[in-house]
């Protein structure tokens, strides 16, 4: 059994890499199949004389809204406060100093992302809405 420990140390990261790449290709394949079915459906509608609806691109569906930025900003700032509290807690105990610094850096990064989202919300909600976007 002791001889298998180094083998597991190699197989676990290797299998994680192979499965990650495999899942990525699987997702690309299914997205391609979905798109092919959509185009085939449109082709059949055109052949029958129907007018197909416009194609909706995935990026258009996921466009950032001010409300989504507000939600993400609040969540990220709250997470940053939690990470900073954990860094302070670890700093007061007799633990390794590297963990405290890592949590402090993570809190700064996450907090700045959250503040950026909140600033975007503040700017975007004042801007008049694009009438073409509401259609």
Residue 107: CB atoms within 10 Å = 20
Tell me the per-residue pLDDT of 81-92, one tens digit each, with 9 for 90 and over: 988 888 787 776
Residue 105: CB atoms within 10 Å = 12
The pTM assigned to this predicted structure is: 0.48
Using CA atoms, how far apart are residues 84 and 104, in angstroms rounded to an integer? Answer: 6
CA 119 from chain center: how many Å? 19
For the chain, the domains span 1-59, 64-126
Tell me the per-residue pLDDT of 41-100, one tens digit each, with 9 for 90 and over: 999 999 999 998 887 766 555 556 788 888 888 999 999 898 888 878 777 655 556 667
């Amino acid at each position: 059994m002791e001889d298998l420990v180094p083998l597991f140390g190699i197989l676990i990261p290797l299998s994680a890499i192979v499965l990650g790449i495999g899942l990525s290709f699987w997702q690309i394949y299914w997205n391609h199949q979905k798109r092919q079915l959509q185009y085939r459906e449109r082709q059949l509608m055109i052949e029958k004389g129907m007018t197909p609806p416009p194609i909706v691109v995935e990026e258009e569906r996921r466009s950032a809204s001010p409300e989504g930025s507000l939600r993400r900003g609040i969540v990220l700032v709250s997470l940053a406060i939690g990470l900073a509290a954990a860094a302070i807690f670890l700093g007061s105990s007799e633990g390794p100093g590297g963990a405290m610094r890592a949590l402090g850096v993570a809190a700064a990064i996450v907090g700045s992302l959250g503040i950026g989202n909140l600033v975007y919300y503040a700017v975007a909600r004042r801007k008049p809405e694009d009438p073409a976007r509401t259609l």
